Amino acid sequence: MAADRSASEVVRGRLVLDDRVAIGTVRVDDGHIAAVELDPGASDTGAGPSFPFIAPGFVDVHVHGWGGHDAMGPSEALDGMARALLAHGVTSFLPTAVTAPLSDLTAFADRVRAWLDAAPADGAVPLGFNLEGPFISAARKGAHNPSFIRHPAGVDRADLEPLIEGLRLMTVAPEIPGAVELIEWLRDRGVAASMGHSAATLQAARDGYAAGGRTTTHLFNAMSGIDHHAPGLAVAALVDDDAWVELIADGHHVDRALWPIITRTKPSDRLILVSDAVSLAGTGERRAAIGGMAVELIGDRCTLVDGGALAGSVIALDAAVRNLAQSGVPLAHAVAAASRNPLALLGVTDRGRLAAAQRADLVELGEDLQVRRVMRGGVWHAGAGAA
């Protein structure tokens, strides 16, 4: 992927700010934003299709693979995944593991930690890693292998300590034995627990958030939902203004008719777009194995070969932003859900906004919101939508 290595630059376009889009310039110096200057009284409406949108880089905190590369593979796979994601505007990410034996998850954690400082300069920057399991509900396992599901009550914390360094997110079903205690244990170690793959009652879900659960794994998918007699985790997540929620905005995981319920219910700073993408994404291949289970693409819908359950997506965050914006969500809010919001969840403050002193991670988007170029730390790289 070709790169333009100019150290100082002025980037002009329709700037996607925290709450609006405005014409202006971003001045970049030595890998950081030196200044953001808006044109007085200028409106973005008359800028014309050749005037690009400039947005902060996207951040995918839940992604299992891309471009034929699996997050649970060797360092070469992580390299390939990082490079494939960068072309789609993802400048930071969390490689995400699926439910597996603890020994495999420990090996995954070790590989990612060893790779962090050696990650390629022309790829998305890893911010740690995410574990989607193994402490989930067998009743709401989705595409996870039931053979490897565990209850926290039956696992010695000493066996989990090797996972902690670099662990940023972990999915936990709050109703299973020992879950609340595990959520508290993770909180005390600076790890955000994500409520998900759960059959929790409303009260059990609330107990999980109260114990330190901060976010929600792919809202509505593999969880107890909105039932007027038996509300579950989805209701707890939607009505708790402090809880973040993930949305896979591919149109398959959550019907588009439900998106307005999410965006009207959640504060705009608590919505996080994730891809939940698997290694098949971007390859043109139709079959693969994830966590030891065979998956296939039917159209652009990824499912288990055995049973047909959804098994992740084949989109990247650029597509999620386009889809959400095309549904009527203001572009500034759609971009925030793919940049500033996931970073706020992780407590990362040095990137994610167009503002002075922020890291110069930028995405240049065309009128159709396709990615033309991506700036990572002040260096431009070609985007997947480049002409």
For the chain, give the mean pLDDT: 95
Percent over 70 (pLDDT), the chain: 96
User: β-pairing, 271-273 with 129-131?
Assistant: unpaired
For residue 95, cis peptide bond before it (omega within 30 degrees of 0): no
pLDDT of residue 126: 98
pLDDT in tens, 157-171: 999 999 999 999 999
- Say which residue, 154 or 4, is predicted with more confidence: 154
d(CA 375, CA 305): 38
Domains of the chain: 1-57+352-387 (2.30.40.10), 58-350 (3.20.20.140)
276 is catalytic: yes
pLDDT in tens, 179-212: 999 999 999 999 999 999 999 999 999 999 999 9
pLDDT in tens, 345-373: 999 999 999 999 999 999 999 999 999 99
State yes or no: pLDDT of 6 exceeds 60.
no
The residues pairing with 55 across neighbouring beta strands, listed in sequence order, are 363
State yes or no: pLDDT of 10 exceeds 50.
yes
pLDDT tier at 1, thresholds 50, 70, 90: very low
Give the mean model confidence (pLDDT) for residues 87-99: 98
pLDDT tier at 98, thresholds 50, 70, 90: very high
pLDDT of residue 290: 84
d(CA 246, CA 90): 16
State yes or no: pLDDT of 2 exceeds 70.
no
Tokens for 300?
Answer: 């652009």
* Single-letter amino acid, residue 126: P
pLDDT in tens, 326-342: 999 999 999 999 999 99
d(CA 282, CA 68): 7
Contact 14, 23 (CB under 8 A): yes
d(CA 19, CA 48): 21
pLDDT of residue 49: 64
d(CA 84, CA 328): 28
d(CA 270, CA 244): 4
Contact 178, 153 (CB under 8 A): yes
pLDDT of residue 259: 98
What is the CB-side half-sphere exposure of residue 167 using CA atoms within 13 A? 29
pLDDT in tens, 224-280: 999 999 999 999 999 999 999 999 999 999 999 999 999 999 999 999 999 999 999
pLDDT of residue 216: 98
d(CA 137, CA 141): 6
Q: Name the nearest CA neighbour of 54 among 262, 354, 377, 344.
A: 354
pLDDT in tens, 294-334: 999 999 999 999 999 999 999 999 999 999 999 999 999 99
* Alpha-helical segments (H) within 54-123: 75-86, 102-116
With H, G, I as helix, E, B as strand and everything else as coil, classify residue 205.
Answer: helix
Rounded to 5 degrees, φ, ψ at 105 are: -65, -35
Q: Which is catalytic among the residues 276, 306, 361, 368?
A: 276
pLDDT in tens, 14-52: 999 999 999 999 999 999 999 999 998 766 655 666 799
